[in-house]
Amino acid sequence: MLHKFIVFGFSIILLTGCMYPSENLSQNQISKDSQLQLVQNAIDLYAEQNNGMLPIVTKESDTPLYQKYIIDFSLLKQQGFIQSIPGTAFENGGSYQYVLVDVEEKPTVKVIDLHLTDEIRTIQQRLTIFRDEHTYPPFADKVAGSVYELDYEKLNLDAAPRVNSPYSDNKLPVYISTDGELLIDYRVELYKALQEKNHSYSNGDDIRPILIEDHPVVPAYSIPYTVADNEPVFAPEIEEGW
């Protein structure tokens, strides 16, 4: 497990080595109406002309759902479905990793906000250093099921780690699973969405899709949540679909 965790941390460092030098330029701001639609059109045409196959980077089967289906822009360019990679894309110096959701029913283009990845990377580095010496993560209080708080003092942090939400001005807690995986707690955003939107979710459903119905950014670094007594709860027992 330790080897797998170190590889995970290393891959995050590689992904975020670029500090998004053009992040303040207008072409690097995500828009679900322009650049996402351009890529969506390319995905639809690619699938139509390739017997339903999708231009995605091959990932390991246990890759978290919302980080699993990374769009392979090189395939889209090679076959002439796009002229250039969007300025918002990581591959072109942007701050977003383009991904697909709902790949079995209706492949839809969304993005991972790499500012989140950068924030997680910082915590991951401290965690890796701690585990190099102590092997096991610094678990603190149990949150739910297999989800625990981090003992932030053992990681030399001034407070419990939080990251900026991609959906609001909220700061979202970062927890750790018993498998040693860092997790972002999206419950405050899920609760708001459940209250504001008409939905038919019930206990046992993974409710994370409600966050991306009207938003381009996926809830990366998360595990399934379901609803209980009209509130979102962690549900790691739910098998991730698609």
| pLDDT tens digits, one per residue of 147-202 | 999 999 999 999 999 999 999 999 999 999 999 999 999 999 999 999 999 999 99
Measured CA to CA, the distance from residue 34 to residue 31 in angstroms comes to 6
Of 206, 219, 144, 154, which is closest to residue 177 (Cα–Cα)? 144
pLDDT in tens, 89-128: 999 999 999 999 999 999 999 999 999 999 999 999 999 9
29 confidence band (pLDDT: 50, 70, 90): low
pLDDT at position 232: 98
Q: Which stretches within 19-156 are classed as H helix?
A: 35-49, 73-78, 114-134
Nearest by Cα to 99 from 157, 30, 52: 30
pLDDT at residue number 25: 40
- DSSP letters of 25-64? SGGGS--TTTHHHHHHHHHHHHHHHTTT---B----TTS-
Band of residue 58 on the pLDDT scale cut at 50, 70, 90? confident
